[in-house]
A and B are shown apart, each in its own frame.
Chain A
Amino acid sequence: MSKYVVKRVLLMIPTILGAGILVFLMMRLLPGDICLIRIAGDGMGVSDEALARCRAEFGLDKPLWAQFIDFAVGYATFDFGKSMWTTNPITHEIGLRFQLSLQIAIMGTITAVAIALPLGVISAIRQNTWMDYVVRTFAIAGIAIPSFWLGIMIILGMLILTQIWFGSPWMLPVEYRPIWEDPLHNLSQTIWPALATGYRYSAVITRMTRSAMLEVLREDYIRTARAKGLMEKVIRTRHALKNAMLPVVTLIGIEFAFLIGGLVVTEQVFNLNGLGQLFVDAVNAHDYTLVQALVMLVVAVFVVTNLVVDLVYAWFDPRIHYS
């Protein structure tokens, strides 16, 4: 098993290298570069001399392959460079935002799984009853409603309700503080985006849990379990759910990795400085180093999540054996 993990970690290197080449080339395919944007942004005429100086500063005057070597060597030695726009170190730019995005992704996942598994199971074992219809409606609504709209509704609802109950509206905090510094402040800020994204997320997982459970409940071994006189509760959890979890786990992994970098609008609604907004800004500014760093981070999250999902598979299903 540990041998398998080592092998998988080594296999991450070509994946990450490939992603690096792709993002490096694609950024350079965009018309214009960071120096044009920086200097033209002053509203003055652009002198060729200033442009050349700026390009020399960022190493953009070197041939492409040399630039790529710099990029690759930097990452190999954990030197991620500086943002071309703010000139702060990349780690500084991303650090706190990654923490925020990761926290919301984790909280969203917990919310989603806590809602989705019970609902999916109930929906399957009460198939075609009113409970099933309620759950399915809830799930369809979750897929149809964008999380940023739900976010706006949550904020509006909170303002209105606190106005009615306490006489003055309560607005969620704007400034992010890590959870270990000020848990109450942190949670009162992050729980709402986690709920808003967790709802859509739970809808997807509820549907997958339901269909996987329906399939498993028709299996012969469920009939065997009934013939042994086992309680329905035991049959559902130990015998059925464990078998139904494989596709569900896959989906959880994909959705989790998506939450890390994909929450642009929802972050804006909740005034959060997460990775999604930073991504958009970095692309707009042609901030090569920052975009590269963000893409590499998201790729790394995907790769690690995939590995974790595969390891969880083996735990759920003993037929899957890694060596």
Chain B
Amino acid sequence: MALLEIRDLVTQFDTTAGTVQAVDGISYTVEEGETVAVVGESGCGKSVSALSVLRLIPNPPGRIAGGSIRFMGRDLLSLDEEEIREIRGRDIGMVFQEPMTSLNPVLSVGVQLTETILRHRDVPSAAAEERALDLLRMVGISEPERRLRQYPHHLSGGMRQRVMIALALSCEPKLIIADEPTTALDVTIQAQILELMKDLTKRLGASLIVITHNLGVVARYADRVNVMYAGRIIESGSARQIYHHPRHPYTLGLLASVPRLDQPRGTRLVPIEGQPPDLTRLDGGCSFRPRCRFVEPACAEARPPLVRVESVGSGHDAACFRSAALGEAAA
């Protein structure tokens, strides 16, 4: 049994322009110890899908309108508020994008760490403090005794994100969801933070969902990759399949638009033309159609389903009528 199994998840937001399906029926699983990346542009629903797992969608205006999320055999969507609060922070830890604003400015690092431990573990506060010190050491923060008494504004962005990771790890969760954990950091710090997360999740045997728009992150750290576009997963496969054998024009476009060290100097980057679609005005056809170089009449008729494709290795899915042609072209 998979650790986390998301089936047909639908998350909606009410806006003045109508109801938006930010997440439109996505399904994926996370096995124990696995690192899964969710990739896509801003606004494709990747963060919303992650927040939906912990039911942290602000309501109103948002709501989870359908599907199921099974975690360790329990359906998270049918739990009551108290039960989901028990799981948050204890079984599932979360790392957010903005280390500058995600820590409370008026509470010390120590308070923010120990309150999580005391919430979920029946230990005296001295033990919680001891644990907080261990956590700070584990995430590579120097002088942990001093840092414990400091406030977030005393720390740099990278330090704060280390504290966020320590927070997420504080109760040894089975699953960590990292929502763009490195987007707000300097490039040099990004690599450190990713290495740290990869290393710690491995040591603790935890699974990891990384939400990112950085394909470099994907190639290096993820076991499986889900590419999202306009609220749906349009391609899913191993990192190697996605990176070297993409079967969806959007994935292909994403890869062509990022610099790669294995390409000769002077190779031009190819951006994906156009804008992501307005989610309130989706029609019945493929949502990537207006920007697609491989478009054919069938794309306007129906939405291509996510189906298994021929590829190197197994477990490669794509939602494109022309994925077979794409595979041949690449070969």
Stretch binding the partner chain, chosen from B37-45, B112-120, B140-148 = B112-120
Q: Is the CB of A318 within 8 A of B151?
A: yes
Stretch binding the partner chain, chosen from B90-98, B250-258, B306-314 = B90-98
Closest to A240 in B: B104
- B164 CB to closest chain A CB (Å) equals 8
The complex places the Cα of A226 from the Cα of B57 at a distance, in Å, of 11
Q: Is the CB of A229 within 8 A of B98?
A: no
| B87 interface neighbour in A229, A317, A318, Cβ under 8 Å | A229
Known A-B contacts: A225-B104, A227-B88. Give 19 more (CB < 8 A): A219-B101, A221-B104, A223-B56, A223-B102, A227-B54, A227-B89, A227-B96, A229-B85, A229-B90, A230-B85, A230-B116, A230-B119, A242-B106, A242-B107, A317-B106, A318-B105, A319-B105, A319-B106, A319-B153
Judged by a CB distance under 8 angstroms, whether B167 is at the interface is: yes
The complex places the Cα of A319 from the Cα of B108 at a distance, in Å, of 11
Judged by a CB distance under 8 angstroms, whether A228 is at the interface is: yes
Closest to B104 in A: A221
- A60 CB to closest chain B CB (Å) equals 56
**Known contacts A219-B101, A239-B107, A243-B106; is-contact A226 B115 (Cβ 8 Å):** no
Q: Is the CB of A234 within 8 A of B115?
A: yes
Q: Is the CB of A227 within 8 A of B56?
A: yes
| A231 interface neighbour in B85, B102, B106, Cβ under 8 Å | B85
Closest to B60 in A: A128
Give the interface of B toward A (CB within 8 A).
54, 56, 85-90, 93-94, 96, 98, 101-108, 115-116, 119-120, 151, 153, 164, 167
Return 21 A-B CB contacts under 8 Å, by A number.
A220-B101, A221-B103, A223-B56, A224-B96, A226-B88, A227-B54, A227-B56, A227-B94, A227-B96, A228-B116, A228-B167, A229-B86, A229-B87, A229-B120, A230-B119, A238-B107, A239-B107, A316-B106, A317-B106, A318-B153, A319-B105
Which residues of B have CB within 8 Å of A225?
A: 104
Q: Is the CB of A228 within 8 A of B88?
A: yes
Q: Is the CB of B119 within 8 A of A221?
A: no
- Tell me the A182-239 residues at the B interface (CB within 8 Å): 219-221, 223-231, 234, 238-239
- B67 CB to closest chain A CB (Å) equals 21
The complex places the Cα of A230 from the Cα of B117 at a distance, in Å, of 10
Which residues of B have CB within 8 Å of A219?
A: 101
Q: Is the CB of B96 within 8 A of A229?
A: no
Q: Is the CB of A220 within 8 A of B102?
A: yes
- B208 CB to closest chain A CB (Å) equals 15
Which residues of A have CB within 8 Å of B105?
A: 221, 243, 317-319
The complex places the Cα of A242 from the Cα of B89 at a distance, in Å, of 22
Q: Is the CB of B96 within 8 A of A220?
A: yes
Q: Is the CB of A224 within 8 A of B167?
A: yes
Which residues of B have CB within 8 Å of A220?
A: 96, 98, 101-102
Q: Is the CB of B88 within 8 A of A229?
A: yes
- A193 CB to closest chain B CB (Å) equals 36
Which residues of A have CB within 8 Å of B96?
A: 220, 223-224, 227
Which residues of B have CB within 8 Å of A231?
A: 85, 119
Tally A residues with Cβ within 8 Å of B. Answer: 21
Which residues of A have CB within 8 Å of B108?
A: 318
Q: Is the CB of B54 within 8 A of A228?
A: no
Give the interface of A toward B (CB within 8 A).
219-221, 223-231, 234, 238-239, 242-243, 316-319
The complex places the Cα of A65 from the Cα of B253 at a distance, in Å, of 84
- B61 CB to closest chain A CB (Å) equals 12
- A226 CB to closest chain B CB (Å) equals 6
The complex places the Cα of A184 from the Cα of B28 at a distance, in Å, of 71
The complex places the Cα of A318 from the Cα of B152 at a distance, in Å, of 10
- A307 CB to closest chain B CB (Å) equals 21
The complex places the Cα of A239 from the Cα of B151 at a distance, in Å, of 14
The complex places the Cα of A223 from the Cα of B167 at a distance, in Å, of 13
Closest to B81 in A: A232
Closest to A221 in B: B104
Which residues of B have CB within 8 Å of A234?
A: 115
- B153 CB to closest chain A CB (Å) equals 5
Q: Is the CB of B151 within 8 A of A228?
A: no
Which residues of B have CB within 8 Å of A221?
A: 101-105
Q: Is the CB of B56 within 8 A of A226?
A: yes
Q: Is the CB of A228 within 8 A of B115?
A: yes
Q: Which 6 A-B pairs have the closest CB atoms?
A: A229-B89, A229-B88, A228-B89, A227-B94, A220-B101, A221-B104
Most chain B CB within 10 A, of A219, A229, A318, is at A229
Closest to A222 in B: B104
- B77 CB to closest chain A CB (Å) equals 17
Closest to B92 in A: A227
- B202 CB to closest chain A CB (Å) equals 22
- A104 CB to closest chain B CB (Å) equals 33
- B39 CB to closest chain A CB (Å) equals 22
The complex places the Cα of A226 from the Cα of B93 at a distance, in Å, of 11
Which residues of A have CB within 8 Å of B54?
A: 227
The complex places the Cα of A228 from the Cα of B170 at a distance, in Å, of 10
The complex places the Cα of A224 from the Cα of B160 at a distance, in Å, of 13
Closest to B164 in A: A224
Q: Is the CB of A239 within 8 A of B102?
A: no
Which residues of B have CB within 8 Å of A319?
A: 105-106, 151, 153
Which residues of A have CB within 8 Å of B94?
A: 224, 227
Which residues of B have CB within 8 Å of A318?
A: 105-106, 108, 151, 153
- A43 CB to closest chain B CB (Å) equals 66
The complex places the Cα of A243 from the Cα of B90 at a distance, in Å, of 26
The complex places the Cα of A230 from the Cα of B108 at a distance, in Å, of 16
The complex places the Cα of A228 from the Cα of B171 at a distance, in Å, of 10
**Known contacts A229-B85, A318-B151; is-contact A224 B102 (Cβ 8 Å):** yes
- A241 CB to closest chain B CB (Å) equals 10
